[in-house]
Amino acid sequence: MGQLRDRMEEDLKLREYSPWTRRKYLQCVRTFAAHYQRSPAQMGEREVRAFLLYLANEKKVSPSTRHVYVGALRFVYGVTLGRPEVVASIPWPKVPHKLPEVLSGTEMERLLEAVRLPRYRAILLTAYAAGMRVSEVCSLRIDAIDTARMLIHVRNGKRGVDRFVMLSPKVLLTLRAWWLIARPKGPELFPGQEPGTCVSAEAVRRALHRAVALCKLHKRVTPHVLRHTFATHLLEMGTDLRTIQAVLGHTSIRSTAHYTRVSAAHVRRTASPVDVLGTPEGKKLG
């Protein structure tokens, strides 16, 4: 599916899908084609349905992964092949909304101390301290660090939205130490091996997994867990949801409100209505 793959990649880029989504969608469509040993252009709704059932019933693929497959197949048929009728009746899998893993403050300290290499220590510290996605930290440019206002300018975040996040004094010291070590020649703060590139998110994930093993954390920790932990810790420190929403770059407050389900401290601080029955405050209840 060489030509189809190239066209699909062009369509994904034209619609400004993230590099991660482009890579995953292309991989999913390639797996679909390999399953039937035919190009998607030669297949239709029957094959799509049978393949998705195969993933669910025989391969036992999780709903979240099948969600990506559905997105990829909807894109290739609806956009690249111009045959939206093929996927019009294909439902999205119901993905269970599980509470995200969150680290305690003590666990977060242990984890950061276990990161040996200065590059990855700076990246992971910044990810936690500012609630940034790993891709956003990896692609940070030197001119995004505003030391006068103690802000980091996150450019072209999710859905292409820019935002400002806090620049912690601890993070600033760590970034300066990294800059003195690396002396990056280009605009990228964390350059990759090739000129004009930045360090890969996959390299950061490997460094994080090594640190998790080193400090013997018995939790599944990914770079995104640091973002969840940041938001939960802010909430437990008393930061209002609107501020957390702005810092995280959420378009909807509903996404941010999810963290009220995660924070045990937030739940503990919330009084039960039974405690005010029969008191002057209880008159507010009618």
Q: Which residues are catalytic?
A: 133, 158, 224, 227, 250, 259
Q: Which residues sit opposite 146 in a β-bridge?
A: 151
Handedness of CA 205, 207, 213, 217 (dihedral sign): negative
Asked whether 218 and 148 are in contact (CB, 8 A), the reply is no
Name, in order, each residue with C-beta under 8 angstroms of 9's C-beta and a sequence gap of 6 or more: 22, 26
Other CB atoms within a 10 A radius of the CB of residue 200 amount to 16
Buried b / exposed e along 235-258 (16+ C-beta atoms within 10 A): bbeeeebeebbebbbbeeeeebee
Asked whether 187 and 198 are in contact (CB, 8 A), the reply is no
Write out the two tokens for 34: 């390999």
